[in-house]
Amino acid sequence: MKLRFAEASPYARKVRLLIREAGLTAKVDEIELHTSPVSTADVLWTENPTGRIPVLILDDGSSLYDSRVITQYLDSLHNGPALYPAGGDDRWTVMRREAIAEGLLDSAVNTRYEMALRPEGLRWTEWIEAQLGKIRKALDAMESEVDGLGERVTMAQLSFATALGYLDFRFADLGWRPSHPKLAAWFDAFAKRPAMLETRPPA
């Protein structure tokens, strides 16, 4: 299998974290693709009709896209503990926590695009503030949930770590740590895992 990714993409990082935590590195060839929100690489259009990364190309040539589709597929291919519990309340709890982190990421990425790509005179200040408000609300929810993550790694942990890592990468001046001390302590410890260190975005 082949995974098309960009180092700066948090959605791709989440997939790459699962690959490492699930022991699938020998089965997935990671191929970096240089693309941007306003300039999609031609190869992507043949593999994903939305022109977005990550994309997982299967051995039969077909493709899977959207990070949550890819992570659930890859989680079905290994023999270790499932990163998505098989069923019951545990599964829905993990997926709900993943959705919180995904919502934070969506708002953060949208804000990044607005601030970095749109000409300054055309930026919508109220919209940016609304997105930052959603980020803060998501952080509050993650702070209240972090004690329940437990020691076993699931997609909840990988999703939380991906979202917080993106804030550190693109929003270093947001200052989320002082108001979310439990979350900060958890992330600082989790960020030392080999999978996190191997997938850090470029400085």
Whether residues 155 and 122 share a domain: the answer is yes
175 occurs within a structural domain: yes
Each residue of 66-123: pLDDT tens digit? 999 999 999 999 999 999 999 899 999 999 999 999 999 999 999 998 888 777 888 8
Question: Which pLDDT score, from 0 to 100, does residue 168 have?
Answer: 97
* Angle at CA of residue 179, ends 173 and 181, nearest 5°: 105
198 occurs within a structural domain: no
Where is average pLDDT lowest: 54-68, 103-117, 127-141, 165-179?
A: 103-117
Whether residues 105 and 161 share a domain: the answer is yes
The total number of structural domains in the chain stands at 2
The domain that contains 153 carries what CATH number? 1.20.1050.10
Query: Which residue do the tokens 């550190």 mark?
Result: 168
Whether residues 146 and 57 share a domain: the answer is no
Would the pLDDT of 143 be above 90?
yes
The domain that contains 48 carries what CATH number? 3.40.30.10
Compute the distance between CA of residue 33 and CA of residue 53 in angstroms, rounded to an integer. Answer: 9
Of 36 and 130, the structure prediction assigns the larger pLDDT to: 130
Q: What is the mean pLDDT of the chain?
A: 93
Whether residues 52 and 105 share a domain: the answer is no
Q: Which domain holds residue 135?
A: 88-193
- Which of 75, 103, 138 is the C-terminal boundary of a domain? 75
Query: Which residue do the tokens 């607005």 mark?
Result: 114
Whether residues 62 and 25 share a domain: the answer is yes
Q: Is 55 exposed, middle or buried (0-12, 13-18, 19+ CB in 10 A)?
A: buried
Each residue of 30-81: pLDDT tens digit? 999 877 666 666 777 788 888 889 999 999 999 999 999 999 999 999 999 9
Residues 21-32 as b or e (16 or more Cβ within 10 Å = b) = bbebeeebebee
23 — alpha (psi -120 to 50), left (phi > 0) or beta? Answer: left
End-to-end Cα separation, the chain, in angstroms:
28
Q: Is 59 exposed, middle or buried (0-12, 13-18, 19+ CB in 10 A)?
A: exposed
Compute the distance between CA of residue 109 and CA of residue 132 in angstroms, rounded to an integer. Answer: 11
Whether residues 92 and 183 share a domain: the answer is yes
Question: Which pLDDT score, from 0 to 100, does residue 121 have?
Answer: 80
Whether residues 101 and 43 share a domain: the answer is no
